[in-house]
Amino acid sequence: MQADNSNRKITVRVCIGTGGLAAGGKEVIQAFKKKISDMCIDVDVDFTCHYQKVGCRGFCARDVLVDVVDGGKSVTYQCIKPEMAERIVAEHLIKGNPITEWLIDDTYYAFHEKQKKILLADCGTIDPEDIQAYINVGGYSGIRKILSKMSPDDVISEIKTSGLRGRGGAGFPTGLKWETCRRTQGDIKYIICNADEGDPGAFMDRSIIEGNPHSVIEGMMIAGYAVGSNHGYIYIRAEYPFAVERLRLAIQQAHEQGYLGKNIAGNNFDFDIKIKLGAGAFVCGEETALIASIEGQRGMPRAKPPFPVHKGLWGKPTVINNVETLSNIPYIIRNGAQWYASIGTEKSKGTKVFALTGKVKNTGLIEVPMGMRLGEIIYDIGGGIIGDKKFKAVQTGGPSGGCIPAELLDTAVDFESFAKVGSIIGSGGMVVLDETDCMVNITKFFLEFTQAESCGKCVPCRIGTKRLLEILERITKGMGREGDIELLEKLGRDVRMTSLCGLGQTAPNPILSTIKYFRDEYEAHLKGKCPAAVCKELLTYSILEEFCKGCGACLRACPAGAITGEKKKLHKIDPAVCIKCGACFDVCKFKAVKKE
Amino acid sequence: MEKTLEKILKEHEEKEGNLISILQGIQDTYGYIPHEAVHWFSKRLNIPASRFFGVITFYSQFHLNPRGKNIISVCCGTACHVKGGSKIVERLQRDLNLNSAGETTKDGEITLEVVRCVGACSIAPVVIVNNRVHPDMTAEDTSKLIKKFKKEKSYAGR
The answer to whether A363 contacts B20, with C-beta atoms less than 8 Å apart, is no
Nearest CA in chain B to A397: B78
The answer to whether A198 contacts B120, with C-beta atoms less than 8 Å apart, is no
Mean pLDDT of B17-21: 88
Q: What pLDDT score was predicted for residue A1?
A: 44
Q: What pLDDT score was predicted for residue B60?
A: 92
Q: Where are the domains of chain A?
A: 8-104, 122-341, 351-434, 439-526, 540-595
Mutate to test the interface with A, among B51, B53, B117 (most CBs of A within 10 A): B117
The answer to whether B122 contacts A356, with C-beta atoms less than 8 Å apart, is yes
Q: How far is CA A591 from the centre of its chain?
A: 35
> How far is the alpha carbon of B138 from chain A, nearest alpha carbon, in Å?
10
Q: How far is CA B142 from the centre of its chain?
A: 18
Total domains present in chain B = 2
Decide if B63 is inside a domain. no
CATH number of the domain bearing residue B104: 3.40.30.10
Domains A122-341 and A540-595 share a fold: no
Q: CB of A277 within 8 Å of any CB in chain B?
A: yes
Q: Do residues B77 and B146 both lie within one domain?
A: yes
- What lies within 8 Å, CB to CB, of B88 at 6+ separation is B74, B125, B127, B137, B138, B139, B142
Q: Do residues B50 and B95 both lie within one domain?
A: no
Q: Do residues B43 and B111 both lie within one domain?
A: no
Report the alpha-carbon distance of residue A575 to residue A583 in Å, rounded. Answer: 14
The answer to whether B122 contacts A358, with C-beta atoms less than 8 Å apart, is no
3 state SS of A5 = coil
| Among candidates B82, B87, B122 on the partner chain, residue whose Cβ is nearest the Cβ of A61 | B122
Give the relative orientation of helices A213-227 and A241-256 as an angle to the nearest 10 degrees. 60
Q: Nearest-CA neighbor of A123 among A238, A241, A19, A276? A: A19
Tell me which chain A residues have a C-beta less than 8 angstroms from the C-beta of B81. Answer: 200, 442, 445
| Among candidates A19, A241, A314 on the partner chain, residue whose Cβ is nearest the Cβ of B120 | A19
Tell me which chain B residues have a C-beta less than 8 angstroms from the C-beta of A57. Answer: none
Q: What is the CATH number of domain A439-526?
A: 1.20.1440.230
Phi and psi, residue B28, nearest 5°: -60, -35
Q: Do residues B48 and B108 both lie within one domain?
A: no
pLDDT in tens, chain A (596 residues): 455 555 677 888 888 887 888 888 889 988 988 888 777 654 545 566 777 788 888 888 888 899 988 877 889 999 999 999 999 988 988 888 899 999 998 888 889 999 999 999 998 889 999 999 999 999 999 999 999 999 999 999 999 999 999 998 889 999 999 999 999 999 999 999 999 998 898 999 999 999 999 999 999 999 999 999 999 999 999 889 889 999 999 999 999 999 999 999 889 999 999 999 999 999 999 999 999 999 999 999 999 999 999 999 999 999 999 999 999 999 999 999 999 999 999 999 999 999 999 999 999 999 999 999 999 999 999 999 999 899 999 999 999 999 999 999 999 999 999 999 999 999 899 999 999 999 999 999 999 999 999 999 999 999 999 999 999 999 999 999 999 999 999 999 999 999 999 999 999 999 999 999 999 999 999 999 999 999 999 999 999 999 999 999 999 999 899 999 999 999 999 999 999 888 899 899 999 999 98
Q: What pLDDT score was predicted for residue A95?
A: 84
| Among candidates A63, A455, A559 on the partner chain, residue whose Cβ is nearest the Cβ of B94 | A559
Taking 70 as the threshold, does the pLDDT of residue B13 lie above it?
no
Report the alpha-carbon distance of residue A271 to residue A225 in Å, rounded. Answer: 8
SS (H, E, C) A371-434: CCEHHHHHHHHCCCEHHHCCEEEEEECHHHCEEEEHHHCCCECCHHHHHHCCCCCCCCEEEEEE
Choose between B70 and A39: higher pLDDT: B70
The answer to whether A364 contacts B120, with C-beta atoms less than 8 Å apart, is no
Region at A199 (left for phi over 0; alpha for psi -120 to 50; beta for the rest): beta
Q: How far is CA A67 from the centre of its chain?
A: 23
Mutate to test the interface with B, among A235, A284, A298 (most CBs of B within 10 A): A298
Q: What pLDDT score was predicted for residue A4?
A: 56
The predicted-structure confidence for B84-112, as pLDDT tens digits, reads as follows: 999 999 999 999 999 999 999 999 999 99
Q: What is the CATH number of domain A122-341?
A: 3.40.50.11540
Q: How many CB atoms lie within 10 A of CB B13?
A: 11
Interface of A with B in 506-545 (CB under 8 A): none
CATH superfamily of A8-104: Glutaredoxin (3.40.30.10)
Q: Which of B15, B30, B58 corresponds to the end of one domain? A: B58
Tell me which chain B residues have a C-beta less than 8 angstroms from the C-beta of A457. Answer: none
The predicted-structure confidence for B120-154, as pLDDT tens digits, reads as follows: 898 999 999 988 889 999 998 999 998 888 887 65
Longest dimension (CA), chain B: 52
The answer to whether B133 contacts A364, with C-beta atoms less than 8 Å apart, is no
Q: Do residues B87 and B138 both lie within one domain?
A: yes
Please name the fold of domain A351-434. Answer: Ubiquitin-like (UB roll) (3.10.20)
> How far is the alpha carbon of A44 from chain B, nearest alpha carbon, in Å?
36
ipTM value, please give it: 0.91
Q: CB of A356 within 8 Å of any CB in chain B?
A: yes
Supply the Cα-derived Rg of chain A in whole angstroms. Answer: 27
Nearest CA in chain B to A277: B21
Decide if B80 is inside a domain. yes
Q: Do residues B134 and B80 both lie within one domain?
A: yes
Report the alpha-carbon distance of residue B130 to residue B127 in Å, rounded. Answer: 10
Q: Which amino acid is at A6?
A: S
Q: Which domain holds residue B130?
A: 70-152
Tell me which chain B residues have a C-beta less than 8 angstroms from the C-beta of A355. Answer: 121-122
Q: Do residues B84 and B136 both lie within one domain?
A: yes
Percentage of residues in chain B having pLDDT higher than 90: 69
| A356 and A382 Cβ atoms separated by less than 8 Å | yes
Q: What is the CATH number of domain A540-595?
A: 3.30.70.20
Mutate to test the interface with B, among A240, A297, A392 (most CBs of B within 10 A): A297
Decide if B124 is inside a domain. yes
Residue B111's beta-bridge partner residues?
B71, B104
Residue B71's beta-bridge partner residues?
B111
Q: What pLDDT score was predicted for residue A293?
A: 96
What are the residues of chain B with a beta carbon less than 8 Å away from any beta carbon of chain A?
16-21, 23-24, 54-55, 58-62, 77-79, 81-83, 87, 90-91, 94, 115-124, 126, 131, 133-135, 138-140
Interface of A with B in 556-575 (CB under 8 A): 559
Nearest CA in chain B to A430: B79
Taking 90 as the threshold, does the pLDDT of residue B15 lie above it?
no
The answer to whether B121 contacts A582, with C-beta atoms less than 8 Å apart, is no
Q: Do residues B86 and B35 both lie within one domain?
A: no
Q: What pLDDT score was predicted for residue B153?
A: 64
Q: Do residues B74 and B147 both lie within one domain?
A: yes
